[in-house]
Structure 1
Amino acid sequence: MLADNAPVTRAFVVASAIFTVFLGIQGRSSKLGLSYQDIFQKFQLWKLLASVLTFSSTPELMFGLYLLYYFRVFERQIGSNKYSAFIMFSMLLSIFLDVIALALLKDSSAKFNSGPYGLVFASFIPFYFDIPVSTRFRVFGIPFTDKSFIYLAGLQLLLSSWRRSIIPGICGIIAGSLYRMNILYIRKAKIPQFLSSFFAQLSWPSTRPPVPARNISASIPSYVNRPVQRSYASVVSSMEPPEGSLAILVSMGFDRDSARQALVQARNDVNAATNILLEAQSH
């Protein structure tokens, strides 16, 4: 389930899934996407809006929603109002760049994939700069990190239709880069609170009560005797998380005590601790 404290992401993912499935059942999703003919000859500007949410195929939908779901962490970092401004900036700018690319190609058969490529690939910029690597490992001698799988999912989406997907992806990366460069002080922009609240209402309401701070010692099985519990507690106390890791989780909106306990349980793996906290909120 999508995490609390990310209502805009929740609304966007739900809307994208519904639009893609609905238009796919009707057999109309393949007709979407920005094309030179539609924009410059038929002037079907409505496709600009339709292409914002709807993926062209089921594989693209799966990879796209997976990435959008993962990138919800940025909404938790900067808040729903600023994240909504990031969505609007990255998508509008990437669509504008898509139209420019179509004009430069001057190919009547040129067409780009439908879907929120601008938002997905713009999000890779803060992902690269702001999400730390917490785990490194090797597979058959090839080095990987805990971020590698996100990059591989993005690469799969980027290369899904070659030029039709690569160009929108590059436009999204440019939009994300300009946002990070704070062009026109865009990083200070916020949408009004009532708009972000409206977006939150587009997805299912959250009816779960607040989750108290997780007590790690409570997760020890009942058959463990007291001396072992004391030994476990002493080990835990010696694994005090780094302040930087705590600051990352607190900036995402988690309670400091819960973040500390999750980091201890995850052996200071920030991503694993994030998953522990999100799973705790889903129960």
Structure 2
Amino acid sequence: MNGGPSGFNNAPVTKTFVIASSIFTIFSGIKGGPDKLGLSYQDIFRNPRLWKLILSVFAFSSTPEMMFGLCLLYYFRVFERQIGSSKYLVFILFSVIVSLLFEVFAVALLKDPSANLLTSGPYGLIFASFVPFYFDIPVSTQFHVYSIHFSDKSFIYLAGVQLLLSSWKRSILPGICGILAGSLYRLNLFGIRKAKFPEFTGSFFPRLSWPSMGSPRGATTRNVTGSAPSHAGRHVERISAPMAPSTEPPQDAIATLVSMGFDRSSARQALVQSRNDINVATNILLEALSH
């Protein structure tokens, strides 16, 4: 499964976060300290260092962790396409802050000043993303290996398990805290799923002069409902409104709607009807599913 169109098409916040994480990891590696960025009881309660706290959110502690982590962040760009950059930025901040608070609470309970209890890296965001991945991303293909059932989602789960166990206890704790943060976001704690930054904030990220990665920018993809439909993957039987004459929908727009769980033929029909406006097409598909 590819999470929609290739590259960081319509996912500027994800692109910025991935590049920032890569830069911080490489920089800390040059300085000889990625393995020293893990947080301990002393770092938090006895000798607080804000710079280390910030770096620990972005910089992975090893190259294998960085490779698995960045691949997962790249795949999870599908959620930014679904809810829009302004809401996804809220999801990032909520996941990072809440998971960090859980980590601080866990370190306070363990009270082991002699060891780094938490590995560094954006574990909070990555494992918080597994919550909507589990509930909102449908299975598109299934297969068997020696009578064991697998799906296209299995590879994402395996990458997550590998990252979770990469530093054993030091990575398991941040991973669990991330899952808890993602669960609270899904439960809409304090109405957080309706919160979003002003539109000009979301439009700031595409203007950053990062190197071009992926296909050219297409139409903006934002699901105005705030999340992918939980019944994603069901066939949309019929779109009742008459279809307006239009050009053939672009393949990347169709792929984006398919990545949200809609049937390919229904996605194409909705795009034709909406004159290739993905926002309108998404609303048409959701209204058809609700009938």
TM-score (norm: length of structure 2): 0.72
Q: Does 1:175 align with 2:175?
A: no
Paired residues for 1:185-204 under 5 Å: 185-202=191-208, 204=210
What are the superposed Cα offsets for residues 16-52 of structure 1, whole Å, 9 maximum, x if unpaired?
A: 0111112112212111121111111111232211111
Do the aligned residues in 2 keep the contact of 1:102 with 1:110 (CA within 8 Å)? no
Paired residues for 1:244-259 under 5 Å: 258=251
Q: Does 1:243 align with 2:253?
A: no
Instruction: Tell me which structure has the larger Cα radius of gyration.
Output: 1
What are the superposed Cα offsets for residues 181-204 of structure 1, whole Å, 9 maximum, x if unpaired?
A: 000000001122333333444461
Paired residues for 1:23-42 under 5 Å: 23-42=28-47
Name stretches of at least 5 consecutive residues in structure 1 with no aligned partner.
213-240, 247-254, 274-283
In structure 2, what is the Cα distance between the partners aligned to 1:144 and 1:73?
A: 21
Q: Does 1:95 align with 2:100?
A: yes
In structure 1, what is the Cα distance between the partners aligned to 2:255 and 2:93?
A: 33
| RMSD, matched Cα | 3.1
Paired residues for 1:136-147 under 5 Å: 136-147=142-153
Q: CA deviation at 1:257?
A: 6.3
Assess, with a 3 A threshold, how the Cα gap between structure 1 residues 257 and 2 changes in structure 2: closer, same or farther: closer
Paired residues for 1:12-27 under 5 Å: 12-27=17-32
Q: Does 1:166 align with 2:166?
A: no
Partner of 1:76: 81
- Considering fraction of residues, name the structure with more helix: 1
Which amino acid in 1 is paired with 2:85?
S
Q: Does 1:9 align with 2:14?
A: yes
Assess, with a 3 A threshold, how the Cα gap between structure 1 residues 210 and 70 changes in structure 2: closer, same or farther: closer
Assess, with a 3 A threshold, how the Cα gap between structure 1 residues 199 and 140 changes in structure 2: closer, same or farther: same
In structure 2, what is the Cα distance between the partners aligned to 1:260 and 1:68?
A: 21
Assess, with a 3 A threshold, how the Cα gap between structure 1 residues 38 and 211 changes in structure 2: closer, same or farther: closer
Q: Say which of 136, 155, 162 aligns to 1:130.
A: 136
Q: CA deviation at 1:99?
A: 0.5
Which amino acid in 2 is paired with 1:190?
K
In structure 2, what is the Cα distance between the partners aligned to 1:257 and 1:199?
A: 24
In structure 1, what is the Cα distance between the partners aligned to 2:52 and 2:178?
A: 18
What are the superposed Cα offsets for residues 132-161 of structure 1, whole Å, 9 maximum, x if unpaired?
A: 011111112211011000000000000111
Assess, with a 3 A threshold, how the Cα gap between structure 1 residues 257 and 197 changes in structure 2: closer, same or farther: closer
Query: Number of residue pairs matched?
Result: 234
What are the superposed Cα offsets for residues 211-248 of structure 1, whole Å, 9 maximum, x if unpaired?
A: 69xxxxxxxxxxxxxxxxxxxxxxxxxxxx9328x9xx
The alignment partner of 1:137 has SS state of strand
The alignment partner of 1:138 has SS state of strand
The alignment partner of 1:5 has SS state of coil
